[in-house]
């Protein structure tokens, strides 16, 4: 078997600064159980205590990426076969839809969509924010780009999340990670 044929598919997990990110390891475990390799790209805000970065680096065997590489440096991750954005914040979804690329996470998402890489999004957005007209327009625009969305999740019991599980594996299903 050639080296190319032996390579596992590579999943980019884009993580934003929402409280539920504390359970990110669940998504990584589920992806690895499906025989995918995982690289995590976090927004700068998400690196500020939202999840255990050392544990995630140990779990994936790769550094978390959050900042742009320097010109001339090699790309630290292979090209993605699929992308899961989880949790996805109000802020990142609106900026992505508007074509803003001022974080590595956003630049990666804008580019992946343009390349036709399958992208699944698990939003974690409170109902009060989700009612903003800009958010509704952002979702419509991203859906029109082919981005696949999981069920709305508000993050707090009784406020749309209803205390239910975040449903990390749904992101893998939507992104086609078999
Ligand atoms: C403890 C905490 C929990 C948060 N949870 C959420 C959330 O569930 N959804 C959301 O959209 N923003 C949430 N925020 C606000 C975001 O962190 C904030 O909008 C930030 O700018 C998002 O940055 P990012 O999209 O680059 O990750 C939370 C903030 C804090 C401090």
Q: What is the pLDDT of residue 156?
A: 65
Q: Region 31-44: what's the mean pLDDT?
A: 98
Ligand 1 and 27: CB distance under 6 A: no
Report the 10 Å Cβ neighbour count for 98. 14
pLDDT of 23 > 80? The answer is yes
Ligand 1 and 124: CB distance under 6 A: yes
Cα 59 to ligand 1 centroid, rounded to whole Å:
24
Q: What is the pLDDT of residue 161?
A: 47
- Band (163; pLDDT cuts 50, 70, 90): low
CA–CA separation, 122 and 84 (whole Å): 8
Ligand 1 and 16: CB distance under 6 A: yes
Q: What's the mean pLDDT when you consider all of the chain?
A: 93
Q: Which atom of ligand 1 is nearest to the CA of 19?
A: 3
1 to 4, 5, 7, 78, 90: CA distances (angstroms): 8, 6, 10, 20, 44
Q: Region 66-73: what's the mean pLDDT?
A: 93
Ligand 1 and 91: CB distance under 6 A: yes
- Which residue's alpha carbon is nearest to atom 25 within ligand 1? 92
Q: What is the pLDDT of residue 5?
A: 59
Burial class (CB in 10 A: 0-12, 13-18, 19+), 136: exposed
Assign domain 3-69+80-175 to its CATH architecture: 3-Layer(aba) Sandwich (3.40)
Q: Region 87-109: what's the mean pLDDT?
A: 97
């Amino acid at each position: 078997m050639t080296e190319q044929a032996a390579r596992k598919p590579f999943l980019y997990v884009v993580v934003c600064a929402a409280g539920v990110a504390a359970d990110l390891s669940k998504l990584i475990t589920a992806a690895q159980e499906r025989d995918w390799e995982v690289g995590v790209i976090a927004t700068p805000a998400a690196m500020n205590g939202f999840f255990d970065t050392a544990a995630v680096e140990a779990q994936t065997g790769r550094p978390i990426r959050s900042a742009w590489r320097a010109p001339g440096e090699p790309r630290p991750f292979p090209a993605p076969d699929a992308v899961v954005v989880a949790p996805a914040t109000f802020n990142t979804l609106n900026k992505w839809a508007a074509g803003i690329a001022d974080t590595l996470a956003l630049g990666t998402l804008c580019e992946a969509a343009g390349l036709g890489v399958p992208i699944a999004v698990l939003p974690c957005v409170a109902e009060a924010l989700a009612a903003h007209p800009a958010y509704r327009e952002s979702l419509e625009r991203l859906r029109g780009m082919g981005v696949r969305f999981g069920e709305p999740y508000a993050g707090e019991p009784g406020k749309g999340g209803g205390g239910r599980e975040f449903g990390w594996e749904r992101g893998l299903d939507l992104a086609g990670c078999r």
